[in-house]
Chain A
Amino acid sequence: DQQVKQNSPSLSVQEGRISILNCDYTNSMFDYFLWYKKYPAEGPTFLISISSIKDKNEDGRFTVFLNKSAKHLSLHIVPSQPGDSAVYFCAATQGPGVYSSASKIIFGSGTRLSIRP
């Protein structure tokens, strides 16, 4: 039973345009959502997160939106750059409090983002 789903295995976006990566989840008890980025031969790197009590979090070119009623979150990258080409994992945690990111992380299957010139 996949609790975090990324239905698009791949996405190709032109450099300078917006990249939108989507994610759906089924467990309403998740209280914290994260996006990780992974380059080949490296471990996943934390990118941005959002608490379930918020609907938007922004960090530079990266913005994550959370729609709790739809159990959906998205990552927007504006503008997209060649270095953004990587696999992006949506993830979620469920813990005793809002900031429970030391709890186990449930990952989606990832979306491979390619930024073309």
Chain B
Amino acid sequence: DAGITQSPRYKITETGRQVTLMCHQTWSHSYMFWYRQDLGHGLRLIYYSAAADITDKGEVPDGYVVSRSKTENFPLTLESATRSQTSVYFCASGPGTPSYNEQFFGPGTRLTVL
């Protein structure tokens, strides 16, 4: 089915471990985004990508790594997880044209770092 999917939906890990969150979209949108949602902070942009092999930092990039070798995939890696990275992570995609920046969100991944 067309859309945007995230995996896993729930993840529990330990401090110091590497974790990768996956995001896949079938719309061929050029832009993809990673946000984290925390109580009291709303949604904050971690990284975004304008196209394959083009990525850029958002508001809170520290501790995260992204890559985008294919248009449809945009994985987010926590290189050494910390408790402060416990959050709900949303991936989004959008066409990113000058007149239309609407973003479409995936179902989210709830990550707990013990």
Partners in one complex: no
A residues near B (Cβ < 8 Å) are: none
B residues near A (Cβ < 8 Å) are: none
